Amino acid sequence: MKQKDWNLTLNLSPEQYQLLKTKADSKGVSVEGYALFKVLHEEQTSHFVPTEKLLITPAEACELLGIGRTVMYRLIKEGAVPAVKLPNCKRLYLSMKGIQKMIDNYTVSPSEIGGEDDE
């Protein structure tokens, strides 16, 4: 395909085409191949994909925080960690934001920390 055709197809200015051609040449591929790669790469990376779970189970929260089930369910019952129950689902879930908020609420100052015998 000629430069003019690619400019029309990809809606590129002559400067943009030249930049694309330079990058393609540096990679040792055709302009068409490099343009296709860029289009596919942008399509794959344009979707929102969370890097971590938004909701976790109480068991996962226990493992994450290093606490037992009894303590976790007490925190849920007291409202320290808000629980989420999805429609048509029997399981409870906890939001990562809720867990972080609970951690922030229970953070103590250095003056509040006792000796090793205090528990």
Q: How far apart are CA 118 and CA 72, in angstroms?
A: 21
The DSSP call for residue 35 is H
**In the predicted structure, residue 69 carries a pLDDT above the cut 90:** yes
| Domain boundaries, given as residue ranges, for the chain | 3-45, 55-107
Specify the pTM: 0.52
Q: Model confidence at 30, in pLDDT bands (50, 70, 90)?
A: confident
